[in-house]
Structure 1
Amino acid sequence: MRLKLLLFFALLLGSFAGQAQEYLQMIDAGTYKVQDVIDSAEAYFANKDKGRGTGYKQFKRWEYNALRMVKEDGYLPTIEERVNELQRWNAYLNSTAQNRAVLPDNWQEMGPTAWNATSGWNPGVGRITGLAIDEGNANHMIIGANTGGVWRTTDGAQTWTPMCDYFSNLSVYSVAIDPSDSDTYFFGSTGGRIFKSTDAGATWNLHGQTGSSNVNKILINPSSTNMMFATAENVGIYRSTDGGANWVKVVSGDNRGYDVEFKPGDLSVVYASGSGFHKSIDGGATFTTIGGFTNGPKMIGVSPDDASVVYVLEASNGRFGAFYTSSDSGGSFTKLNHGGLNFFGYSTSGNDNSGQAPRDMGIAVNPTDVNEVHIAGILTWRSMNGGTSFTCTADWIPGNAASANIGYCHADVDDLMFYGTTLFAITDGGIYKASNTGTLNANYYEDLTDGLGIRQFYKIGVSQTTDSIVSGGAQDNGTSFYTAATGWKDWLGADGMESFIDKTNSSIFYGTSQNGQLYRTNNGGSSYVGLNEPGSGSGNWVTPFEQDPVLANTIYVGYNIIYKSSNFGTSWTAISQNFGGNLDNLKISQSNNQVMYASRGPVLYRTADAGATNWVQTTTPGGVINSIAIHPTNPDKIAVATTSINRVFISNDGGNTWTDLKLNLPSFSALAVIWDDNGKNGLYLGMDYGIYYIDDTFTDWQPYSNLLPNVIINELDINNTTNTLFAGTYGRGLWASPLVDNTVGIEDVISESTMSIYPNPATSEFTIALPKSMKAEVRVFDITGKLLIYEADALISNKHTVNVSSLSSGTYFVRLNTEEGTATKKILIN
C-alpha cells in the first residue's frame, strides 16, 4: 500500500494525529506565507504534547528548511519557479562557456551508501518514500528517495543508479512503472505534481497534476494503461483516462487520499480510501462510500488468494485505530477486537501510545495466503489468522531485535508491499525485504539499500588531518563518520545535526541531535557519552555547536544564551546575554578567538572579547542569515548567505557596512558559505542547486559543480591539509572536490578547445571526439536550457556517437562533464 507523506523540501510532513491541523493544508496549498504557516502550527501545538508521534518533529523539520529558503515576499519558491530558473541558468552556462575560466572542480561521491552501526541506535542509509517493481522483471525496480530523487536497479538491488541527479531536487513521494512499457516511469511530488520519463529515467517532464497535495500513490491499470489513479494526501482521490495528463477527482465528500487498489482478478472493481472507504464497480468512474468506519486515515489490503476478502487498516490520532475485514468484496465490514493494543508505536508488545500515522502506516497481504496480513507503523507486524492477532516482526534498534530473535527494520515504515511472496518494507532508513515471511527470526529482513547515496545531511564537520575524518548529522539516520581507512560508521541515532572533530585529538568527535542535545565520543565512535546541556538545554531544530580554534578542550553551544565549556562539555559558563530566542548560527574567528559572530533570523551579533561584555548587534545585511563565514586571516571580514534577493553579503568592518555579492548568481537559495585561505579571498557558496566560487581575480561567480547532482547543499567545509572542499547535501550524502588551485593548465583538462563535434550541422546523430578515452556525462540542451538528452557514464573511446533523431531542427548545446573538466559546444540540427 502506498503511503508517501513527507512534505515540501523533504521535510516532510504528513497529516499526523488528527485531521484539524490546518497548517498541513496551508503547506500543501503553497499560497500562504511561511510565517503564517508557522503561526498556525504553533497555535495548533500550543498546550499539546510535542513528543514522538505528535507531528511536531515533522513540523520543525519543515520550518527549519522553509525559513532557509523563504523568499523576500515571505513565500516559498514554487516547483515551477525552480525548474524555470534551472533552465535559465543552464542556458546561461551554455552561452557563456567559451569565456569562462577553467577550474578544477571534480566532485566525487563519498557516501554513505550503506550503514555500519557502532554506537548508533537507528542506522540506515536514507529515507525511501516509494518502491515500484516491474511486473515482468523482478530485478527491475525503482525507488523514490525523499530529496534524493528516483533510483533504478536492473539486477535485483545489487547496484543502484540515480535517475534524477540533473533534473531537479524535487521531493519524491511515490513511484510507478508503466506495466506495458518498462522504460516509462512516473513519480509523484508535492502540489499534486506527477512527473513522467519515457527513457527509463534519463530525462523527466511535468506530466499532470492532481489537486495541490503530496501524491501518495500512483496506480496504473495493467490492461489499459491510460487509466490511472492517484491519491493526493489532503485533497482526495483522482483518476486519469489519458495516461496521467489530466486528472479528475472521483470521490466526492472525502478530501483525503491515502490508498487505492484493484480487486484481484476484476479491474472493474476499485477500492479507494481517505478518511472513508469507497468502492467502484465501473472501473473507478464512480464510487460508493461504505459505512461502518470512523474518520481516521485508512489503508487497504487485498490478495489474489481470495479476491472477496478486503482488509482496512485505520488510524486514530496517529496511533492504531482499528482493523476491519470484509468477505463480500468490500460491501460490508466487521471490526476485529485487539484489546486496546497499539501496533503503530515503538513497543514490540503494542503497549505504548506512540504513532505517526498516516505518515507511518502500511498494510500488505500475501498473494498466496489471504490470512497472512502484514501491517506497519513505526515497526512491522504480522498476522497469520486474517488480522485477528498480530506479532511484531522487527525492532528499530539492531541489538534489541537480535535479542528478541526478530528482524531489524529501520523505524518509521512508510509503506509495505508484496511482489510475489516477497514482502518489502519502505522506511526512513531504506528498503527491507522479507523473502520467507512465514519464519520469524533475527534474519527476517534483508536490507536492499547498499549502494544508495541518499543521506540527508543537515551539518558536517571535517578534520584537518591527512586522512580526512568527516562526521555528519542527518535526518532520521543519526550521525555518522567517515575515514578513508574505515569507511562510514554510525555513532549516534535520532536526527543528527551539527558535528565536528576535535582539533587536537582526532579520536574525539562531538555531535548533536534535534533541539541541541549534545554528545561526545572519546574513542572514534565506538561509544558515546551524553553531555550535560546548560541552561534551558534546548535550542533550535539545528542548534549551533562549535569548537574554539585556539583553546584546547573548549566548545560552545548556542541556545537563547551562548555557553562555553573548557572541559569537553562537562560544565558550562554563559558568555552572552539572553538573545530573546534561540540562535541559528555561531562562528568563532580562526585568527582571533576573541571575535565571534552569532545570528538569529536576520539579526547578526558580534563580540570582540569572547563574550566578556554583551554581544553587540551589527547592521542587518538583509534577509534571514543562513550561514556565516569569517575570513581565515581577518576577523573583521565576514560573508553571510541569506534569504535576501541579493543572496550573499560581504563586510570588511565586522558587520558595520555590507556589500551585496549577488552579481550573476542564479535565483536559488543561498544556504552555506565558506572562505578559503588561498591568498586571493576565495569564497565558496552552496545553494539548493549547485556550488559557486568567486575570488579577487573574478568579476562574476563561477560555477563549481562539475559532476555534482542538483541537490540541496546544506553545509560546506574545507580540509586545508588535503586542499579538499566537502559538501554535505540534503539527499545525496557527502561529496568532495579539489579546491581552486592558483593555476590550472588548460592542457591538463577537457575544454572547448580539446573537444570536437562533427558533423555540425548534424541530422540524426553526431560524434564527440576527445584526445583520449574517458568516462563522461553527456547532456544535450535546447537554447532555453531544457535538458533533452542525458547519458550517464558514457565511455568515450576517443569517439562517441549521440543519437539526436528525436530532436527538431534548431540550435542545441552539448555539454560534456568528465573528471578532467567540462566542455560545452553549440550544434545545429537540420
Structure 2
Amino acid sequence: MKTKLLFAFCCLLAFAGRAQNWGHVGPYSTNFDNGNMFESGRVDCFMLDPGFDGNLNQTMYLGSMSGGLWVTYDMGQQWNNIVIPGAIPFHGISALEYSAMGYAFVGTCNSMGNSQSGGSIYKFDPAANSWTATNFSAAAPPGTLIKDIAIFPNNPAIVFAATDQGLYRSVDLGTNWTNVLTGDIEKVAFIEQSAAQGGFQVFASGYNILHYSNDKGQIFDPHLALIIAIQNAVPANPNFYADMAPTYNAANPNILYLYVDGLHSNPAPAQSGTHTLVRLEIDKINLNENISPVNNYYEAGGVPGRMCVAAHDQVAYFGGVAVKKWAFNFSMNYPNIGIFSVPYDQGTDDSSGANEIGYVFHDDVHDLIILPQLQYLFVATDGGFFRDAYTLTNTPTPNGTIYFNNWTRWNYGLNISQIWGLGISDQDPSKFFTGEQDTKAFMNLTNSTTYDFFGVEPSNVIIDKFNSNNYLFRNDVNMGIFNGTTIGGNNADPKHYYDNTNASFCSTNSFLTYPEPGWGINTFFQDPNRPGYIYHGASGPALTELCTSSLKEILKATFPAKYDQYVNGMTFSKADKNKIHVSISNRLPPDEGKPRVFMYNGTNFDDSWYGHNVTWQERTPANTDPVFTVPLTTSNEYLMESVGIAASDWDAERIWWAVRNVPGNYHLKVLKRNGGVWSDYSQGIPYSEVPVSIVYEQGSNDQLYLGTNVNVYYRNATMSSWQLYSGTLPNVCMQQLRINYGDNTLNAGTYGRGVWKSDLACPPDVSIAENGNTVADKFVEASSYIIGSGIISWGDVKYRAGEYIDLQPGFLVSAGSTTRFYAFIHGCANEGNTFREAQNEDDYDALEMMTKSELKGEHEPQARVMPNPGSGIFYLERGSADEARIMVYDLNGRCVFDKQHVNTQREAIDLSENSNGLYLVRVITGGQVENFRIVKQ
C-alpha cells in the first residue's frame, strides 16, 4: 500500500499494532510427493512405545539433536511434532528411553552446526503431555551432552545416563544422580548374567572405554580382553571410540552376544577412521566368554557421531557413513547395504560395495533398531527416517545376498531442516531459499513444492531483493546465479560468475570457493541503496561485488588478516551509502587471527575496487579498550568470534557488532560503536546464550533483532536492554534472521526446525500527539498515526508512523542549522514500507484522492458533513436538492459507501458497521466535485 503524509485537521484512528505471532512456513517433508524434493534433516535416536507390536500399536518416537521430538502412530507413514514447553531451555533431543513407570526419560541438547552441548534429563508422559525435570543438571557439569539413557532390566528405579562427562547413575527414578565412571561414554548395555547382582551385567562403552559392572553399575572395571582385541587390530592407532549392542543366539538362548564397533579415528582434522568389529560371546550358565574378531574396514567420514550398532542372533548392523552388515553364520561382510539408488533399492546386498555414487541422500547413520519378529530394520540418518522390510533367505546367493532388503523413506510430516543460509523475497514473501546441512539447498516456490539442487551443502544463498527470480548460491565446490523461472526439477542449470583474467576481477574457481566460510554463516549481502548489485564475503579475506545483470564480479577489496579468515558481515545505511562496514571472522590455530571490523572511508564506494580508490580504515576495538572488562591478549584474541554487524539508518558510523566467546568477557554479546567509542550493548542477553545472527530493521528507531543459540531478542534506541521475542518458537539455534519488507515480517532460519515467520516488533504506541516546544533530539514512532501541533525549536526530530502523520495548523519547525525535521510513513502493522511502492494501482489511485489539491476545494463549499468526528451516522447537508452521488473511501482507498441519485438536501451516511478511522467523502454534483475528510471514533 502506498501511503502519504496527510496535512489536515486533528484525526483519530484506532489501530492495534501487531505483535509476535511465530509460525512455521517450511520446508515441508511430503516424502517426495508431487515433486517436492525436500526429504528431512538429521534424526538421532528412536524409542518404541512399550506396547509396540507393529500391528495394533505402531507408535514410536524419534529424537533429533537439532529438530526436537516427533511421534508416529503408523510406524513412520506420518510424523507429528511434539511441542516441548518453552520453559525447557533446549529443544534438541539426544537420548530417549521408555520406563515401565509409564513415562519416558528424555535427554535434551542444543546444536550449533556440528557442535552439540547438553541440557538435562526430563520425564515425559505422552498420555498427559507433561514434562517433569529430574535433578540431572545439578549433578553434571553445565553443557554435559547426554548420549544414551538406559534402565536396568528388572529394576526401573535404576537409570543410567551415558554422557561426554562420564556415566551417571540414579537409583531413585532420576531424583538423584551419581557419576560412577569418568570419561566420554557412548552407550550402556545389559547382558543377562546369573552371577551378577540383579541377574545382569552392565556394560559401558566410549572413548577407550569398554567397562563392565557386576553390581548393578556401582563399580565398573575395564574388560581388558575386549579392549586388547580392539587395540591390537590397529596397533599404530590404539585409541578407539566404541559403540555396542547386545543380542542372543536364537538356537541357544543361553548364549549371549555383545557386538562392539571400535572406531580408530585418524588425527584431526581428517574425518576418517578404521572400524574394528568384535563379538563377545557369553554363556550365561557356565559364564564362559569367547572373543571373536569380526572384521576391520576403513571409512572416509568415519567419526564417533556417525556410529550405532544393532544386532540379532548372527547378524549385526553397524552404522557409520552408511549401514554395514556382518552375517556371522556365513562369515560375510556386506558393506553399504541398501540405502542407495538402483540396484540397491531393489533389494540386493552387493558385498563388493560397488556403485556407491548412487546415494539417495547423505546417509550418515545415527541409530538403528532391528525388530526380528517383524523383520524390520529402522534407521535414523542425516536424511530422516528409513525402514527396511527384509526377507530372510537361508542360503547365500552368488552375489552374497542373505536378506532381501526393501528400503523405503518414511519422512512425511518430519519437518526437520538444519538451515545454514536463508534467502527471502521482498517481491514475493511466500518464496524462500535455504542452504542446509546434509541435504543441499532448497527453493520453496509454493507451500507444497520445494526443489533441491546444486551438489553439496551450500551454506550461502540469497534471493535478489529487486528481482525475485534471481537466486544466488555458493558452496565449497562451486558458486553461481540462476533464474528461478527455469526451475523445473532438481537439475537447474546455474550460470557461474564472470571469470576474467584481469586482476581486478576474480575467478570463481580460486579463492572464492576455498577455504569455505564457517558453517551457518551466510556471506551474501545486498545493499538496498544499490539495486542490481550483490556483495559476497570471501576468504582471503576479500569482498566482491556482483552485477546481477552482467554477471560481472568485481573484487572490491582485500583486508589485512589471515588468509583463512573471511568477510562474515556487511553494513549499509540510508544516512550515507558510501559508509560501508565489514566484519572479519576469527581464525583458529595453528594460524590464529583476531576478528576485525573495517569501514570504507572514501567518498564514492561505486568508484572503488581492488587497486583503485581502496580506502578502508580499521574500527576494531583494541585489546585494551575499556569495553573489555578483562583486556584481551595476543595469545587469546583469536578465540573471540565475529557473528555479524549492523549500522544505523540515521548515522552510518553508529554500528553494532555481534560477538561471542570473548575470553574473560563472556558477558559480551553485542558491542556498539557510537561517536568513535565502543560500549557494551549486551544487557538482557542471558550469560549462557551465544549470538548467532543479527539484523537491523530499516526505518526504525535503531531496532535490532538478535538470534542466539536458543532465542530471538529485540532492542531499539529507547530500550535499556534486549527483550525476548521468541513467542512460540522452538528453543533451537536461530541461525539466520532476515526481515522481509514485502510483508513486514521477521524470518528466522533455524538450525533444526526450518523457517519461521512473525510480525515485526511494532512501536508500542498506536497513536501519539506531539505538542509543546521540542528542544532536543527526538525519534517519535507510532504504529498508526502521529498528530503534530507543537513547535520544534532545536534538535534532530523524526516522526515515523505506520499510517499517517497529521501536522496541524500551528505546527512549526524553526529554521536554523541546529534544527532538522524528518517525517515519513513506514509500515509495521500493515504491509508496505518506505523502500518499495505498492503494486496495487487501485489502492494507489484511491489514496491519491486524499492528497490532491482539490481536497481544499476549487469552489466555495456547497455542503458539509455533520457531526465530525462522529460515532457512525453522519449527515451530508447541501444547499440544494440537485441530483448527486455520494462515495466514501477508507484509508486504504476502498470504497465503503456509494449512493447515487441523491435528491435530498440532508442525506444520512451510515458507517456504523465500519471500523474507526479516517474516511474521505466525495460528493459529485453535475460537473462539480467536493471532498471532505471525516473521522469515525
TM over 0.5: yes
Q: How many Å apart are 1:651 and its aligned residue? A: 4.7
Name the SS for the 1:465 alignment partner.
coil
- In the TM superposition, 1:570-589 aligns within 5 A as 572-581=554-563, 582-589=565-572
Tell me if the contact between 2:189 and 2:202 (Cα under 8 Å) persists in the aligned partners.
Answer: yes
2:323 to 380, 384, 390: 380
**Aligned pair 1:140/2:59, yes or no?**
yes
Q: Per the alignment, do residues 723 and 443 of structure 1 end up closer, same or farther by CA in structure 2, a change over 3 Å counting?
A: farther
Structure-2 separation of matches of 1:475 and 1:669: 20
Task: Give the structure 2 partner of residue 642 of structure 1.
Answer: 659
Q: Per the alignment, do residues 191 and 605 of structure 1 end up closer, same or farther by CA in structure 2, a change over 3 Å counting?
A: closer
Structure-2 separation of matches of 1:494 and 1:470: 19
Tell me if the contact between 1:173 and 1:188 (Cα under 8 Å) persists in the aligned partners.
Answer: yes
Task: Give the structure 2 partner of residue 724 of structure 1.
Answer: 745
Q: How many Å apart are 1:618 and its aligned residue? A: 1.8
- In the TM superposition, 1:405-420 aligns within 5 A as 408=360, 410-419=362-371, 420=373
Tell me if the contact between 1:402 and 1:442 (Cα under 8 Å) persists in the aligned partners.
Answer: no
Q: Per the alignment, do residues 639 and 211 of structure 1 end up closer, same or farther by CA in structure 2, a change over 3 Å counting?
A: closer
Name the SS for the 2:444 alignment partner.
strand
2:154 to 218, 223, 240: 223
Task: Give the structure 1 partner of residue 816 of structure 2.
Answer: none
Structure-2 separation of matches of 1:570 and 1:399: 41
Task: Give the structure 1 partner of residue 446 of structure 2.
Answer: 484
Q: How many Å apart are 1:412 and its aligned residue? A: 1.5
Tell me if the contact between 1:464 and 1:720 (Cα under 8 Å) persists in the aligned partners.
Answer: yes
- In the TM superposition, 1:696-715 aligns within 5 A as 701-715=722-736
Provide TM-score, normalisation by structure 1. Answer: 0.66
**Aligned pair 1:535/2:511, yes or no?**
yes
Task: Give the structure 2 partner of residue 450 of structure 1.
Answer: 412
**Aligned pair 1:316/2:317, yes or no?**
no
Task: Give the structure 1 partner of residue 163 of structure 2.
Answer: 232
2:644 to 614, 627, 632: 627
Structure-1 separation of matches of 2:345 and 2:217: 45
Q: Per the alignment, do residues 123 and 271 of structure 1 end up closer, same or farther by CA in structure 2, a change over 3 Å counting?
A: farther
Q: How many Å apart are 1:606 and its aligned residue? A: 0.9
Q: How many Å apart are 1:188 and its aligned residue? A: 5.9
Deviations 1:192-224 (A, max 9, x none): 864122543633424326765533211112421
Provide TM-score, normalisation by structure 2. Answer: 0.59
Task: Give the structure 2 partner of residue 167 of structure 1.
Answer: 87
Q: Per the alignment, do residues 255 and 566 of structure 1 end up closer, same or farther by CA in structure 2, a change over 3 Å counting?
A: closer
Task: Give the structure 2 partner of residue 151 of structure 1.
Answer: 70
Task: Give the structure 1 partner of residue 42 of structure 2.
Answer: 127
Write the letter of the residue equivalent to 1:685.
L
Q: Per the alignment, do residues 710 and 279 of structure 1 end up closer, same or farther by CA in structure 2, a change over 3 Å counting?
A: closer
**Aligned pair 1:466/2:428, yes or no?**
yes
Structure-2 separation of matches of 1:179 and 1:233: 23
1:561 to 541, 559, 563: 541
Deviations 1:521-564 (A, max 9, x none): 44446435576244373243146233455253654233123242
Task: Give the structure 2 partner of residue 11 of structure 1.
Answer: none
1:692 to 713, 734, 748: 713
**Aligned pair 1:512/2:474, yes or no?**
yes
Structure-1 separation of matches of 2:573 and 2:391: 57
2:525 to 546, 549, 556: 546
Structure-2 separation of matches of 1:408 and 1:723: 38
Structure-1 separation of matches of 2:92 and 2:20: 28
1:182 to 102, 123, 129: 102
Deviations 1:558-577 (A, max 9, x none): 31232425466676535234
2:305 to 359, 367, 387: 359
Task: Give the structure 2 partner of residue 18 of structure 1.
Answer: none
Q: How many Å apart are 1:341 and its aligned residue? A: 4.0
Name the SS for the 1:269 alignment partner.
strand
Deviations 1:231-288 (A, max 9, x none): 33463x454322234445556xx84423322236975233433335444455445555
| Structure 2 gap ranges (5+) | 1-15, 110-115, 232-239, 266-271, 350-358, 394-400, 498-507, 587-594, 622-626, 629-639, 768-937
- In the TM superposition, 1:748-763 aligns within 5 A as none
Tell me if the contact between 2:427 and 2:466 (Cα under 8 Å) persists in the aligned partners.
Answer: no
Task: Give the structure 2 partner of residue 242 of structure 1.
Answer: 172
Q: How many Å apart are 1:106 and its aligned residue? A: 0.6
Q: Per the alignment, do residues 657 and 468 of structure 1 end up closer, same or farther by CA in structure 2, a change over 3 Å counting?
A: farther
Q: How many Å apart are 1:716 and its aligned residue? A: 1.2
Tell me if the contact between 2:279 and 2:294 (Cα under 8 Å) persists in the aligned partners.
Answer: no
Tell me if the contact between 1:417 and 1:425 (Cα under 8 Å) persists in the aligned partners.
Answer: yes
Name the SS for the 1:293 alignment partner.
helix
**Aligned pair 1:605/2:598, yes or no?**
yes
Q: Per the alignment, do residues 193 and 497 of structure 1 end up closer, same or farther by CA in structure 2, a change over 3 Å counting?
A: closer
- In the TM superposition, 1:653-692 aligns within 5 A as 656-658=676-678, 660-662=680-682, 664-667=684-687, 668-678=689-699, 680-692=701-713
| Structure 1 gap ranges (5+) | 1-100, 346-353, 747-830
Structure-2 separation of matches of 1:629 and 1:245: 46
Task: Give the structure 1 partner of residue 913 of structure 2.
Answer: none
Q: Per the alignment, do residues 631 and 486 of structure 1 end up closer, same or farther by CA in structure 2, a change over 3 Å counting?
A: farther
Structure-2 separation of matches of 1:141 and 1:287: 32
Tell me if the contact between 1:240 and 1:248 (Cα under 8 Å) persists in the aligned partners.
Answer: yes
Task: Give the structure 1 partner of residue 618 of structure 2.
Answer: 617
Structure-2 separation of matches of 1:743 and 1:400: 62
Write the letter of the residue equivalent to 1:360.
R
Q: How many Å apart are 1:379 and its aligned residue? A: 0.2
Deviations 1:111-132 (A, max 9, x none): 32427789x9996522222221
Q: Per the alignment, do residues 422 and 504 of structure 1 end up closer, same or farther by CA in structure 2, a change over 3 Å counting?
A: same
Deviations 1:135-166 (A, max 9, x none): 22353333322133333445544232234351
Q: Per the alignment, do residues 604 and 487 of structure 1 end up closer, same or farther by CA in structure 2, a change over 3 Å counting?
A: same
- Segment of structure 1 superposing worse, 492-501 or 276-285: 276-285
Q: How many Å apart are 1:416 and its aligned residue? A: 1.4
Structure-2 separation of matches of 1:665 and 1:321: 44
Structure-2 separation of matches of 1:395 and 1:698: 57
Structure-1 separation of matches of 2:472 and 2:339: 24
How many pairs were matched up? 625
Tell me if the contact between 1:626 and 1:670 (Cα under 8 Å) persists in the aligned partners.
Answer: yes
Name the SS for the 1:541 alignment partner.
coil
Percent of aligned positions with the same letter in both sequences?
Answer: 21
Report the RMSD for the aligned CA atoms in angstroms: 4.0
Q: Per the alignment, do residues 500 and 260 of structure 1 end up closer, same or farther by CA in structure 2, a change over 3 Å counting?
A: same
Q: Per the alignment, do residues 460 and 255 of structure 1 end up closer, same or farther by CA in structure 2, a change over 3 Å counting?
A: same
Structure-2 separation of matches of 1:567 and 1:160: 44
Structure-2 separation of matches of 1:385 and 1:664: 59
Deviations 1:673-700 (A, max 9, x none): 3222345444333233432334466666
Structure-1 separation of matches of 2:148 and 2:453: 34
Write the letter of the residue equivalent to 1:261.
A
- Segment of structure 1 superposing worse, 494-503 or 711-720: 494-503
Tell me if the contact between 1:152 and 1:163 (Cα under 8 Å) persists in the aligned partners.
Answer: no
Q: How many Å apart are 1:438 and its aligned residue? A: 4.3
Write the letter of the residue equivalent to 1:598.
V
Name the SS for the 1:223 alignment partner.
coil
Structure-2 separation of matches of 1:548 and 1:177: 50
Task: Give the structure 1 partner of residue 580 of structure 2.
Answer: 596
Name the SS for the 1:294 alignment partner.
helix
Q: Per the alignment, do residues 206 and 432 of structure 1 end up closer, same or farther by CA in structure 2, a change over 3 Å counting?
A: same
Structure-1 separation of matches of 2:161 and 2:570: 47
Structure-2 separation of matches of 1:558 and 1:211: 41
Q: Per the alignment, do residues 455 and 657 of structure 1 end up closer, same or farther by CA in structure 2, a change over 3 Å counting?
A: same
Name the SS for the 1:721 alignment partner.
coil
